[in-house]
A and B are shown apart, each in its own frame.
Chain A
Amino acid sequence: MPDLPEHLRKPLVNLLLAAADDKLFLGHRNSEWTGLGPILEEDIAFSSLAQDDMAHAAALYELAGSIDGRSADELAFGRTPEQYRCAAIVEVPDEFDWATAIVRRFFCNHFDLLRLTRFSQSAWKPLSDLARRLVAEQQVHVRHVDDWMVRLGAGTPESHRRMQKAIDAISPLATELFEPLDELKSLVDAGLYPGSDFAMYDQWREAVAHVLGQSHLTVHFEIGSPEDRGGRRGVHTQYLGPMLDEMCEVYRLEPKAAW
């Protein structure tokens, strides 16, 4: 499918932007730990994870841009907050609480592995080619965060208490990753995004439950988000605007600058 049918272009760009935006802001939040990680290995790990996530975002922005003509930089930094499609879970600050940082990655990484796997089966070859590589890299992320979930959840009474507290605080945002995107069904029907969100939700629940069981941690999910929020529709938390201002400070000074 070298030429995308006209009516599928906008929904596909929307889907790619949602995936890229999640990665961009998760990567940015993780990069805030550079120099502040609790141990040297994790300082390096979080910096590497941030670099991976931003690289994944850049590759997905480039693909989206190949459809609608915008550059990756324009897509990453040149939009207003309501034009972003990220979920609330990647927007909120972690207040430099290590448990919160790990738990956030845990929910997001498992979601991303499943989403990228669906991309890798897409009928649009540029996406499936890229996603095969992204899935391989994403597996390293999942393995890393799963190890920490078990290590801390099943660790000391103190580490267990702090992890459970982080889960209780973050999990209400986790299911918002599944908020439906506009016109997604047309992409599924055309084989551009095979599978279903319902099946993906079940797989995600099963994957996180498996690790939480080993970690002696519990979670109670509530499906759906508050009426007044919906990242996939561009309705964001109060944290996105200030984060964008910080990230875009240099870009806005000279948008056409070459690096």
Chain B
Amino acid sequence: MISRQAIFDVLRTIPDPEMPISIVDLGLIESVDVSGSAVSVVALPTFVGCPALEMISRDIESRLGRLPGVASVNVRWVHDPPWSVDRISGAGRAALREHGVTVPESGSRLEVHGAAGATVPLTVGAADVPCPFCGSKKTHLDSPFGPTRCRMIYYCDACRNSFEHLKKV
């Protein structure tokens, strides 16, 4: 029987279509189940209806399908538990920073409050986001929307570069 280790070794080589890290480092893989020659993968979307989901499913199916001993691959997307930036691995964070994309600190996920109405805290554009190029904290949110739905645009007032910061959701 095929080992879960072998499955994860393959998943670790599949890059996210919109981020320069693997889908495992991005925290998309919730669980892998092997039953005989059938493999089931449960995955979490970053953003609801992210346009890359189908492509990721196809990548997983075709790559795992090529493993000896695998007859079928099933990919299922679920919202429980919800994906959050906390799921990005240390290696993933380092690789993203290298590419000029910063990630909110672990544990900083937006809390979803009850029907709090006016008091729902809105802390999307965090202050003190360090510039990935020069390290300065003299940065500001330029736009909460960027090249993909999960990224925002920040600007560094010290080295005058713009960079991307993942939404804290």
Cross-chain contact B82 with A136 (CB below 8 angstroms): yes
On whether the beta carbons of B115 and A203 are closer than 8 Å, the reply is yes
By a beta-carbon cutoff of 8 Å, the part of chain A in contact with chain B is 41-42, 44-45, 47-49, 51-52, 54-56, 58-59, 113-114, 117-118, 120-121, 125, 129-130, 132-137, 139-140, 142-144, 146, 195, 199-200, 202-204, 206-207, 210
Q: Is B49 within 8 A of A143, CB to CB?
A: no
Given contacts A114-B117, A129-B78, contact A137 B112 (CB under 8 A): no
Across the interface, do A133 and B48 meet the contact criterion of CB distance under 8 Å?
A: yes
Which residues from A are CB-within-8-Å of B83? 133
A200 with B169: CB separation less than 8 A: no
B144 touches A121 (CB 8 A): no
Specify which chain B residues have a CB less than 8 angstroms from the CB of A142 in the assembled complex: 120, 122
Q: Are B124 and A117 in contact (CB under 8 A)?
A: no
Give B2-45 interface residues, CB cut-off 8 Å to A: 45
A6 and B112 alpha carbons, distance in the complex (Å): 31
Residue from A52, A132, A146, A200 within 8 A of B122 (CB atoms): A146
New contact pairs (10) apart from A55-B49, A137-B47, CB-CB < 8 Å: A51-B149, A55-B48, A114-B115, A125-B80, A143-B124, A200-B115, A203-B115, A206-B117, A206-B118, A207-B120
Q: Which B residue sits closest to A132, measured CB to CB?
A: B82
A137 touches B169 (CB 8 A): yes
Partner of B146, one of A44, A55, A135, A136: A44
Task: Find out whether the CB atom of B169 lies under 8 angstroms from the CB atom of A120.
Answer: no
Which A residue sits closest to B83, measured CB to CB? Answer: A133
- In Å, the complex CA distance between A135 and B47 comes to 11
Please determine whether B153 and A41 come into contact, CB atoms closer than 8 angstroms.
yes
B125 A143 Cβ-Cβ under 8 A: yes
User: In the bound complex, how far is the Cα of B143 from the Cα of A129, in angstroms?
Assistant: 28
**Which 3 A-B pairs rank lowest in CB-CB distance, beginning with the nearest?**
A203-B117, A55-B49, A136-B169
Q: Of all chain B residues, which has the CB nearest A60?
A: B48
Q: How far is the CB of A206 from chain B (nearest CB, A)?
A: 4
Residues of A within 8 A of B153 (CB): 41
Complex contact B118–A203 (CB within 8 A): yes
When distances are taken between beta carbons in the complex, the residues of chain A under 8 Å from B158 are: none
The answer to the question of B110 belonging to the interface, with a C-beta cut-off of 8 Å to chain A, is yes
> B142 at interface (Cβ–Cβ under 8 A)?
yes
